């Protein structure tokens, strides 16, 4: 797994870690403490749910903390990239003229709905280092897809 991330991606992960540690976890700990003070814990739904939620938060904090230790902010792509690189936006179309536009990011920040795909994904790997007008074959479980790169930029268009 690639340990590169954009500065914005790192900020989002740090913000999530901080929120869980400073806001969510203390709130849940207080709820568990209040529920425990009510007596019998074996049938106390608030206590049982709170302990479960606390385990989930602690697991997520451990996961995020581990990633934060190894992540490195990738250099910004050049202003006018000639090749597809980490952090740039790539527009391409398939043989049916369907248009796509994605930013190549790290595996910790991929969000297809926001247009960010992982550099480690099959699509990211196929596009990496290619140029405008290159024909690219993307290998997918349902079969290969041939696409043509139409634009490479540092901003979404």
pLDDT of the chain along its 157 residues, tens only? 789 999 999 999 999 999 999 999 999 999 999 888 887 777 788 899 999 999 999 999 999 999 999 999 999 888 889 999 999 999 999 999 999 999 999 999 999 999 999 999 999 999 999 999 999 999 988 889 999 999 999 988 7
pTM of the model: 0.82
Paired tokens of 154: 């540092």
Question: How many structural domains is the chain composed of?
Answer: 2
Q: Which of 73, 102, 119 is the last residue of a domain?
A: 73
Q: Does 157 fall in a domain?
A: no
Q: Does 110 fall in a domain?
A: yes
**Residue 74: what are its φ and ψ, rounded to 5°?**
-75, 150
Q: 100 with 138: CB under 8 angstroms?
A: no
**Which CATH number characterizes residue 110's domain?**
3.10.50.30
Q: Which domain holds residue 93?
A: 89-152
């Amino acid at each position: 797994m690639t340990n590169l991330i954009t500065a914005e991606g790192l900020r989002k992960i740090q913000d999530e870690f901080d929120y869980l540690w400073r806001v969510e976890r203390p709130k849940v700990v207080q709820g568990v403490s209040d529920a425990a003070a009510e007596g019998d814990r074996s049938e106390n739904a608030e206590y049982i749910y709170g302990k479960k939620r606390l385990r989930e938060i602690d697991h997520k904090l451990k996961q995020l903390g581990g990633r934060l230790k190894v992540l490195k902010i990738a250099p910004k792509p050049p202003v006018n990239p000639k090749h597809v690189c980490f952090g740039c936006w790539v527009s391409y179309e398939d043989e049916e003229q369907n248009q796509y536009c994605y930013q190549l990011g790290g595996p910790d920040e991929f969000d297809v709905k926001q247009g960010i795909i992982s550099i480690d994904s099959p699509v990211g790997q196929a596009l990496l280092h290619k140029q405008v007008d290159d024909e690219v074959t993307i290998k997918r479980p349902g079969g290969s897809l041939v696409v043509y790169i139409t634009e490479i930029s540092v901003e979404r268009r």
